[in-house]
Amino acid sequence: MEIAFNPFALIVAFVAVVIAISLHEMMHAYTALKLGDTTAHEEGRISLNPLSHVDPFMTIVLPIITLILLQTPILAAKPVPFNPDRVKFDEFGAALIAAAGPFTNLALAAIGAVIANIFSGNVDVYDALRIFISINVGIFIFNMVPIPPLDGSRILYAFAPDSIRNFMAQIEQFGIFIVFGLVLAVPAFSQIIVDLNTSISLFLL
């Protein structure tokens, strides 16, 4: 779902991003704590303070670039640290930690859709909630891409055969550059994200 490039939309988008990334990262950290690892908790990541979760490029620069180029912001926050040796259920526990973030955003989008349908007669409220939904769906989709360090890679890792796990381990140190390259240099990749965002957002509404 595209966001119109105007001051109202930008203000709403900023507020939506703050809420979305704060809850996303907090739920990563909270899930890790519940599964036995206190690493993120000790680093202050169980917090609604967005400053605890901001990554300069992924959270600030990338969404500005993609909002201008694609009319849809694509972003992620600073990864939540965890110690796999302290997490229950081994790789499946790590997958639960990874899934907690993006599925929180999907839940926020669903809640936003319910409220939007209730206030469908109020144009300003409805438009603001459409942006809120689009932001959260976008974060959900982007973070589910199975390329390290995105959340989808950790989910895939828990269920993948050794050959894929080995491949993911080999590309992990370059993963962030692969993600940037796909978003900024491969139009088809960005278009898939935009199209999925539109489809899911319209379905929720």
Q: What is the pLDDT along the chain (205 residues), one digit of tens a residue?
A: 555 667 888 889 889 988 999 999 999 999 999 999 999 999 999 998 888 888 888 788 877 787 777 766 677 788 888 898 899 999 999 999 999 999 999 999 999 999 999 998 899 999 999 999 999 999 999 999 999 889 999 999 999 999 999 999 899 888 888 987 888 788 888 889 889 998 999 999 8
In a domain, 16, yes or no: yes
In a domain, 188, yes or no: yes
Active site residue 42: no
* Distance of alpha carbon 123 from alpha carbon 135, whole angstroms: 18
Q: What are phi and psi of 38, to 5 degrees?
A: -100, 5
In a domain, 182, yes or no: yes
pTM score = 0.88
Residue 90's domain comprises 7-204
Please give the pLDDT value at position 68: 76
In a domain, 92, yes or no: yes
In a domain, 1, yes or no: no
In a domain, 2, yes or no: no
Query: Among residues 2, 25, 91, 172, which one is catalytic?
Result: 25
Contact 106, 54 (CB under 8 A): no
The tally of domains found in the chain comes to 1
The three-point CA angle 136-196-170 to 5° equals: 85
Q: What are phi and psi of 146, to 5 degrees?
A: -85, 50
Please give the pLDDT value at position 29: 95
The token pair at 12 is 């709403």
Please give the pLDDT value at position 39: 94
Single out the residue of 114, 101, 108 nearest to residue 132, CA to CA: 108
